[in-house]
Chain A
Amino acid sequence: MTTETSAADLVEVVCAVPGVRGIEAGIASSLRTLDARLRGERGRARYGVVIDPESRTVTAEVGLGPGAPVRVIVEEIQRAVQRAIDRSAAGEPGEARTWRVLVRVQSVSGTGRTQH
């Protein structure tokens, strides 16, 4: 992960995944966004996505829409984020280790089953 991939970039990546209704900021990112602002590391957190270089974890807080099963959408989010990280780290030495992508699903709006 380099400074090229910022949390704002990842927000876009996450929102582009089918089945993601949007970012839904929760306590994890409220906290880290404040923290990042204090430390002058503005790229590290946007409401909803937090990049933590120390633990090599990206946390995304999302709301999901109806349709595909939750775990399928979550896995696609994780892969999309990992691809974005890989793209930005291409050619960088020592970036081989993968990052952990933790998804926190805050809400789901209907799971697509027909109602009676």
Chain B
Amino acid sequence: MSISGKAYIVGAYEHPTRKAPDKSLAQLHAEVALGALQDAGLGKDDVDGYFCGGDAPGTGPLSLVDYMNLKVRHADSTNIGGSSYILHVNHAAQAIAAGKCDIALVTLAGRPRSEGAQKGAPQRTDNPMQPDFPWEQPFGMTTLNAYAMCAMRHMHQFGTTPEQLAWVKVAASHHAQHNPNAVLRDVVTVEDVANSPIIADPLRRLDCCVISDGGGAVIVTRPEIARSLKRPLVKVRGAAEAIKHLSGGDVDLTYSAGATTAPLAFGEAGVTPADIKYVSLYDSFTITVIVQLEDLGFCKKGEGGRFVADGNLISGIGRLPFNTDGGGLCNNHPNHRGGMTKIIEAVRQLRGEAHPAVQVDGCDLALAHGTGGLLGTRHGSATLILERE
């Protein structure tokens, strides 16, 4: 069963905070939920489906559904890391198409800055019972060096350069200058990235995303309800998810699970990469964007570095505007999870509500895509193709 055209995103809200020492985690979830509901013109009691990821405190959705005093007949707390929320929209569309719920709320929130998240190379908080734990954690694997090994291999195999990686950050910074809520608003150059401190070869500080508190939420509903509301219609046209891992030792760090999701999502939507006017790509690191662009088919494998160079991702300048909110590299990366803000900026673009300086003209088809977990070990990719109707 295809979900194409069976569900619409009618509410989207990004919390303006980037540091929230005076708010609880559950409070942040409730605030973003309310923000998205108000955006849609709906109320709490309209919600009958709830979706959350691993950032939700408690057993799956239970504590937050209780805290927000929701009455739901469908819930899903699938956790594939930061891309979970893109997957949740897919699952919400499936549930709506199957009649399991009518109005789905998806929330993300977190306060790593207020909880004292360490900058640089924080030890991962993986579970010692994970089967992979003894084979990775004792070697000092962090998020940083796991992604860095992907970048190193990409450079070796395809000739990708540090300057090409830097162009991803440069493009994000050009967009972030227009976002008053962005953590980093200064426009940077390729030289600025190259001169930033090396963290884990070949990644430098400015190749890495920000750490921020905050969150976001979206509301997904049936076509009839979407049409009864006053917001522009943003239709879910195609969606897919997949998991990639180390394959019993058959390791290939040059591609992501996006290589699997892309043909599925584009196939369901009945469009091609050439039709996409705007992309939101999870930019945990600059290399993540390059690998995902290749896997999604915006360029051939190995050509992502050349594709992003010379401002090709900058709105108004390049062929494929990306992350016009400044992305995780400059704007916001709430709770180390970048999927939700990718959906929200895609919705803004399709509604024509992005900042005028970065709004893409005639943006009628957008793609939001994320890689959650670690590109360098195991991760879940999720792709969403959205259309302005």
Same complex: no
Identify the B interface with A (CB < 8 A): none
